[in-house]
A and B are shown apart, each in its own frame.
Chain A
Amino acid sequence: MLLSGCADNPGKPGGQGFKSPQARGSEGFQGERMKIDVTKHKLVPEHVLLSDTESKDVLKKYNVSRDSLPQIPVTDPCARMLGAKPGQIIKIIRRSQTAGSFTAYRMVVEA
């Protein structure tokens, strides 16, 4: 599968841009190359995979259990690009019409 050429567009506003799979290095998914870089599409917000400590901080801050978070399947294209595994938490930075920007969290689950 070839990583097809992506549009030569500027990065998303307000964010530092999303690390492409190639820039990730050893962490992340094992050699899966997707046909389209979905993170560049205008409908897709920035997804960030949180480390274990970061995840615990978020759960503590909102005083919730992991299971009460919104969910995202492992097979989700954005989750795949991050190489997420079930149980991990993904931080999503959305552009919002009402609040400018808003961070949401999703826990990765089995499909």
Chain B
Amino acid sequence: MAKTTEKLKETVQKELEKMKIHIPESVVDKLVARIGRKKVSIKDLRNVLKEVAEKFAQHMIEPGEAVGIVTAQSIGEPGTQMTMRTFHYAGVAEMNVTLGLPRLIEIVDARKTPSTPMMEIHLLPKFRDDRKKVGKIASEIEITKIIDIAEVETDITNMQVIIKPDLKKIRKKEITMDNIKEKLLEKGYEIESNKSTISIKSEPSYRKLHALATEIKVMKIKGKDGVSRALIKKEPEGYVIYTEGSNFAKVLEIDGVDQTTTTTNNIYEIFEVLGIEAARNAIIDEASKTLQEQGLNVDIRHIMLVADLVTNKGTVESIGRHGVSGKKSSVLARAAFEITVNHLLNAGVVGEDEPLVGVTENIIVGQPISLGTGVVQLVYKPKR
């Protein structure tokens, strides 16, 4: 069954190329599904394709349509219906994720770190059902501090900090005394140890001793920076690890992690690790999800436009005056947006020109804009 549809699709696309018509793939798919198994001659097919192309052209958005304003209103209007408060995510076990309007604001402001960073870590097919292996990977990721696996005491008489590892906890986390010693040596501490304790000498001052103890207590022994918690959940296709905190780059490198489907809600990390196109897709996904969760149905085209605008310059820019809006070349447009006086003053001092090309500045000045009707300039040609 699939073979004939594939062949048909190929034939259709070949004919389209010969006829020099362009029809998007989704329309071709629909056409192919409609034709099904009926036998169509090439002549008939060509006629059909011509008609399809005509109909498609009638359905396309007209050049000059003020798409930006339509998008802004289409996203803004449902935005007024979203709650300003965030509430607990009833889905993923006890995890607190920013939802609704605050999350949408984070995305549009291109914040480098979201307020509730979260990763969804998938594992390679061969490990997906192995609870033990999944548990091991989870402990590789979740941060373990010295205080979690040992008692840290200050020995005032000898001016030293004593670490007493709890053997049960250590074994559970698959850490050894030697691991702890290595980490301390890496960080440059001078240690003395016996079978059950490690001690570090401090400088002869009560304050320094206390400071040293605090340092040691919060020192990371295991796990990736930034990840405070890792939860394992059983999903239909296998175990999945959800984390509070995100370190996309480091987690992808871990053995056993599926590098193709693991994701994070930190858009900036996606940009750094996977590139600008991936960031664009992530923005679309996150914004869509946020709106859908609130029960709002916004056509994805509007979100795609925003994502395209934000990623146009190759990096993830915010919409506000530090990003897209601030880069406009028109003085009047920037002055009309925020910080009015500064822009006008600087422009005056430097002697900037205002070419009156964009929408905002032409509205201010009272001239027709270059969108919609204004995309065309009419010239009167008198009859001789």
Contact = CB atoms under 8 A, between A and B. Distances in A.
Interface stretch (B20-28, B69-77, B186-194): B20-28
Contact of A106 (B255, B259, B260, B314): B314
Nearest to B278: A43
A78 B314 CA distance: 12
Chain A contact surface mostly: loop
B278 A41 contact: yes
A70 B315 CA distance: 11
A76 B282 contact: no
A14 to B, nearest CB: 8
A38 B26 contact: no
Contact of B274 (A41, A97, A100, A101): A41
A8 B259 CA distance: 10
B124 A7 contact: yes
A73 interface: yes
B112 to A, nearest CB: 16
B259 A72 contact: no
A98 B301 CA distance: 8
B300 A7 contact: no
A44 B277 contact: yes
B48 to A, nearest CB: 18
Given A98-B26, A99-B24, A100-B29, A38 B273 contact: yes
A35 interface: yes
B270 A43 contact: yes
A99 B26 contact: yes
Contacts of B315: 73
A71 B259 contact: no
A76 B282 CA distance: 16
Given A73-B276, A100-B25, A43 B314 contact: no
- Interface size grouping (class) on chain B: 35 or more
B278 A94 contact: no
B140 interface: no
Contacts of A106: 276, 314
Contacts of B28: 100
A97 B261 CA distance: 19
Contact of B314 (A40, A42, A73): A73
Contacts of B255: 4-5
A100 B314 contact: no
B125 interface: yes
A34 to B, nearest CB: 10
Contact of A109 (B25, B263, B314): B314
A17 interface: no
Nearest to A69: B312
B129 interface: no
Interface in B76-99: none
Given A9-B260, A43-B263, A76-B276, A101 B25 contact: yes
Interface of B: 24-29, 124-125, 252-253, 255, 258-261, 263, 270, 272-278, 281-282, 285, 300-301, 304, 308, 311-315
7 contacts: A6-B260, A8-B124, A36-B273, A44-B275, A97-B300, A100-B28, A106-B276
| Top 10 A-B pairs, shortest CB-CB distance | A100-B25, A100-B26, A71-B314, A43-B278, A99-B24, A78-B275, A77-B275, A101-B25, A73-B314, A76-B275
